[in-house]
A and B are shown apart, each in its own frame.
Chain A
Amino acid sequence: MEEKKNWKKFLILELSITALLMIAVAAVVAFVDPFFHYHAPLRDFSYIMDNERYQNDGITRNFEYDALITGTSVSENFRTTLADELFNVTSVKATYAGGYYKEIGDGERRALEYNDNIRLVIRSMDMYFAMTETDYRNPQAADPEYLYDNNFLNDEAYLYNADVLFEYVNSGIGRTVNGVPADTFDSYMRFAEDRPLGAAYVLPYVRDNEVTGAEIHMTDEEREMLTANVRANLTANIAAYPDVEFYYFFPPYCIADWYTNHYVKGDIPALIEQMELVTEEVLKYDNAHVFCFYDDTDIITDLNNYSDLQHYSGEISDLLLRYMANGEHELTLDNYKEYFDNVENYYTNYDYSWITGP
């Protein structure tokens, strides 16, 4: 009988300790909330911000801001402090490296739904991520649905997660104690300082293929697919939020990219037609702006601005923000045809021989 009593006491103790620890872990994670899933950041906590797919939704939902910088990795080097200064806004960055139009469009829509104060969106439009079905997502990218689905019943994956507890909460506490400031949006996902620039790093990405001499144009099926994708994932948000200014831009890939991914294949005409189509669709709306920098050939042809075929330096990222703030390189319904004709002409007739070398 005595033994039974002991076991009863032990059982209560065992379950109580377990329950308390379970509650404590969830409470600590929810209180610190390193992915900003429940609330805005604590004022004095040193947050580690380095995981966009996990932190973006919380950022767009719980931060105070009126401008959103989004897009793929080509937007990651933008400094929000510069954007704030140039556009007179308070901006946050929520980018999706390798993100297709659907992923970025969804993130942008959710931000607009959460935050009525948004008045400016800056977003990249990568053509490499454009030609897909409307609901295509990057299959290799992390997809923490539990952070995006507004269903608290599956939040266990966040609340009871060793990575979150040890790498974000615990390390964050350590940084806070040591007086390390929280990461900022200038540094959030920025890689400009980590990657060396120049021909030595860009040219290895150039494939040694022979120029086909072909002249490939966009097919009717591609036109249909791209139109549907742009309407579903780009212009739907523009149409739904007429009071918000949308600054969309074609990221300036380098001359080596033009060569190896387009000139060699002969699909420069198709690429130009795609960019024209996107421009036409976006410019149907008065609150939308489209920027394209391929006419700034000083940038494009200087490989010292690039760490690979597509990614440009921090300085160029700053310059693009300045261009957009000043309205430079902006396409309008009046000038875009001529603009793309010139771009096509330039990159079709460019002397690429130095890229492949003797």
Chain B
Amino acid sequence: MGFLSLQFIFFVPVVLVLYYAARKSGKNELAKCVLTAASMLFFALYGWDSFLILVLSCAFNYLYSSFLSKNKKPAYLAAGIVINVLPLLVFKYLNFFGENIAKITGTEYTGVSLILPVAISYYTFQMITWCVDSYRGETKGIPVLDYLAYIWFFPRMVMGPITRHDEFIPQINDPAKFKPDPENIATGFLWFTVGMSKKLLLATRFSGASLYGLGMGSELGMAEAWLCSIAYTFQIYLDFSGYCDMAAGVSKMLNLDIPKNFNSPYKAESIGDFWKRWHISLTSFLRKYIYFPLGGNRKGRARTYINMMIIFLVSGFWHGANWTFIIWGALHGILMIIERLTWDYLKKIPKFIRVAFTFVLVNIGWVFFAAPNLSMAVDVIKEMFRFDNIMPAVQFYDTFDMGTIPFIRYHLNIAIPLFYVITFVCLQCTKNIYDKKYKPNFLTALAAGILFVWSFLYANGVSSFIYFQF
């Protein structure tokens, strides 16, 4: 069951009613059971194989964390981490390693056909946080029901945000959050609606141009190469942040806050700033569980830069078993180091130039991220800097599927560039939806209703979220 289905739209109210009914009856353990059972049902509908793998991982980590909290030896912690990472390596990276080792050794490798368990990248990191926190003695005394509700929590189960136990478990035990709050339910619905419209009304519009760009490669003109890459830059943000808004919205309805994953990333003034705003929960995880244990910036400049490169390479590799992701991670790592080295000069440049420059660098990075292979990424980037063909082809305009919209269909060469400009301005100027104060009036209610239905009309036939594959 995905977020973009009628089943989910009926599923959420049922969960809300059962959850708050259990809270009202004073049986808080029952409320946690409702939440866990609903989450398990939600996840099981993605497939039994993925469900069973998560059940095993969940059981192992609970038992192993009890062991770890009593046997605090670094070797045991390392073993716990390795056992968690192993399934991820096997299911997601086995063929990648096999193919590359075969290339290096000049041997042949026959790919193994394995399922990629849903959400494995996310819950592997989440389980690691649990293991490490147990080793640090932070999970002592957490009841199994709390643990289950935390691990399985359905709004953020599939694509994050990666949440630590101390960000979630205290909330489900906080009496102030036991009663349904109309403001939270109404606001959660607004967030959900905004998220759905980001995905269905905007991200999917840009997806055609992204695919077109990656299909054409070296046949693109300069303008097309830029427009297609920017289309992906918009698409990936609108797609992933749309999902996060929906997840945060459903959580909000349950009076539960999940960590904010985005904070207007394209307003970033530098690459460092970008990473404080993009996929924040992943960055936090990498900092807390890899960068700091490696020494962070406490062991001299050289080690700091090495540590930075390590976390960016891990980040890239985590996203997928492909050199394109590794290069994307490496690129960001290198840019971060250069930025650190030159920051005294960079900070004197006017802010709007820094924002624009950061946007361009991030945009180039996304080309590697989106491309199916390195040569395709290089082809697109080459075209971006080949100064010819400044007019996009008709086929480019067709990718926006606006040919049936009255009036606009005759002016696509104006409407589509305008669509880019409006999107860019909105991403630069609008407030984050979590910081907005909504007015509970008729117009807001009407706008929410119309936006919800309008978006939902586009739910059929839409591909899954980009981050679902990670």
Contacts and interface: CB of A to CB of B under 8 A. Distances in A.
Interface stretch (A2-10, A181-189, A255-263): A2-10
Contacts of A162: 457-458
Interface string A1-34: 0011011111101110110111001000000000
Contacts of B458: 162
A156 interface: yes
B183 A7 contact: yes
A18 B453 contact: yes
Contact of B441 (A10, A17, A160, A161): A10
Contact of A7 (B186, B449, B450): B186
A157 interface: yes
Interface in B113-130: none
A167 interface: yes
B189 A160 contact: no
A22 B457 contact: no
B387 interface: no
A6 B440 contact: yes
A11 B182 contact: yes
A11 B448 CA distance: 11
Contact of B6 (A3, A4, A160): A160
B444 interface: yes
Interface of B is mostly: helix
Given A14-B189, A14-B448, A162-B458, A7 B453 contact: no
Contacts of A6: 440
A180 B298 CA distance: 77
Contact of A4 (B183, B441, B457, B461): B183
Interface string A102-121: 00000000000000000000
A350 interface: no
Contacts of A7: 181-183, 186, 440
Given A7-B182, A11-B186, A20 B441 contact: no
Given A4-B183, A11-B186, A156-B6, A18 B452 contact: yes
A25 to B, nearest CB: 6
Interface in B185-209: 185-186, 189-190
B404 interface: yes
Interface string B426-470: 000000000000001110111011101100111111000000000
Contacts of A20: 449
Interface in A266-286: none
A300 interface: no
A10 B446 contact: no
B interface, size bucket? 20 to 34
Contact of B182 (A8, A17, A25): A8
A192 to B, nearest CB: 25
Interface residues of A, number: 25
B449 A18 contact: yes
A23 B446 CA distance: 15
Interface string B366-388: 00000000000000000000000
Interface string B285-312: 0000000000000000000000000000
Contacts of B404: 166-167
A22 B10 CA distance: 12
Contacts of A4: 182-183
Contacts of A8: 182
A14 B183 contact: no
A165 interface: yes
A4 B460 CA distance: 36
Contacts of B189: 11, 14-15, 18
A3 B459 CA distance: 34
A40 B143 CA distance: 59
Interface centre among A14, A15, A17, A166 (most CB of B within 10 A): A14
Nearest to A22: B453
Contacts of A161: 457, 460-461
A268 B339 CA distance: 72
A295 to B, nearest CB: 46
B409 to A, nearest CB: 13
Contacts of B456: 22, 160
Contacts of A3: 183
Nearest to B453: A21
Contacts of B446: 17
Interface of A: 3-4, 6-11, 13-15, 17-18, 20-22, 25, 156-157, 160-162, 165-167
13 contacts: A4-B182, A7-B183, A7-B186, A10-B182, A13-B445, A14-B449, A17-B445, A17-B446, A17-B448, A21-B449, A22-B452, A156-B460, A162-B457
Given A4-B182, A18-B189, A21-B453, 9 more contacts: A7-B182, A13-B442, A17-B449, A18-B449, A18-B452, A22-B456, A25-B453, A156-B6, A165-B457
CB-based closest 6 A-B pairs: A10-B440, A17-B449, A7-B183, A156-B6, A162-B457, A14-B445
Interface of B: 5-6, 181-183, 185-186, 189-190, 404, 440-442, 444-446, 448-450, 452-453, 456-461
